[in-house]
Amino acid sequence: MLRAVATRHIASLARCSTTVSRLGLHTTLSVAASLPAHLSPSCTCIMTRRASSSTESSSLQDPQEGQAQAALDQGTLALQQGQLKDAAKHYQDSLRVKETSIGKYQLSSLPEAIKSFERSLSLSPSVPVPTDNLDPDAPLQPLTPAQLIAADTHTNLGAAYILSKPPQPQLALQHLQQALVFNPEDGEVCYNLAAVLEATGHLDEALVAFQRSEKLGMDRAKVNIRNLGAKILGKMREEEEEKKNSKTSHKGEGSSKTV
């Protein structure tokens, strides 16, 4: 269901995330908690995108879609207010009316959510990638609704693949990168991409992405830039130390052979 992931509104549900797990409702995405221990970044990010309301035209085209969206919105509102049982009921009501990717996502049915998101992409017409503006001082062209739909669907797929068991970070990277292709000025997606890049060991690329996300308004990236910079510096020192030790051992072997 395309319109369930179409709009740019982000679900700000972090304040009730500590208790939501009892009902299996996904709110925030912790990369560190989702990935194996050897793939652990230094930050937590939120990657879920949802629709906040149905448009008049969409409701006229499909009454069931409007009903499902209304129940989905009620569930999200209840979740924000800490009414967990009511939230679960509304999400289930939404799914009974009509299948939605976000409804399944919020109810922890990640395999079904992934299938639904992927199906949305496959059924969508070809979406043109925004063209680069040759004049850096010129204002950016607004994205079309189709481009926004594509960007948010790829963002949600990135989150779903990270939350999968086992996590699939490479697929998450592909979809987050594709989301940025459609919407390169999205600081939050850029930040999330940086987190997954760091988690998978692409430290230099992660640093660039964190720096870009800061320029796009993600103030919390400053801490990540500082921490990741220290991590990269420490790694460089370790590599230099290993090279020195390797040279020393080779010299020792040569001396013993001469004797």
Q: Is 175 a domain residue? A: yes
Report d(CA 116, CA 138) in Å as an integer. 38
Q: Is 3 a domain residue? A: no
Of 18-32, 34-48, 190-204, 225-239, the one with minimum mean pLDDT is: 18-32
- The closest of 119, 140, 121 to 130, measured between CA atoms, is 140
Pair 204, 231 in one domain: yes
Report d(CA 116, CA 181) in Å as an integer. 21
Band (pLDDT 50/70/90 cuts) for residue 194 is very high
The rounded mean pLDDT for the chain is 69
Pair 114, 178 in one domain: yes
Range of the domain at 219: 185-246
Task: Identify the DSSP state of 16.
Answer: G
Kindly give the interhelix angle for 145-163 and 110-123, rounded to the nearest 10 degrees. 150
How far is residue 72 from each of residues 16, 63, 94, 120, measured CA to CA in Å? Answer: 17, 14, 6, 18
- Residues 185-192 have a mean pLDDT of 91
pTM: 0.59
Task: Indicate the number of domains in the chain.
Answer: 3
Does residue 228 or residue 253 have the better pLDDT? 228
- Residue 70: its pLDDT value, please? 74
- The closest of 37, 43, 28 to 167, measured between CA atoms, is 37
pLDDT in tens, 90-118: 666 665 655 555 555 554 577 887 888 78
Q: Is 122 a domain residue? A: yes
**φ, ψ dihedrals at 10, nearest 5°:** -105, 135
Does residue 175 have a pLDDT over 80?
Answer: yes
Does residue 190 or residue 152 have the better pLDDT? 190
Q: Is 224 a domain residue? A: yes
What's the number of CA atoms in the CB half-sphere (13 Å) around residue 34?
A: 26
Q: Is 209 a domain residue? A: yes
Q: What is the CATH number of the domain that holds 202?
A: 1.25.40
Q: Is 11 a domain residue? A: no
Does residue 175 or residue 245 have the better pLDDT? 175
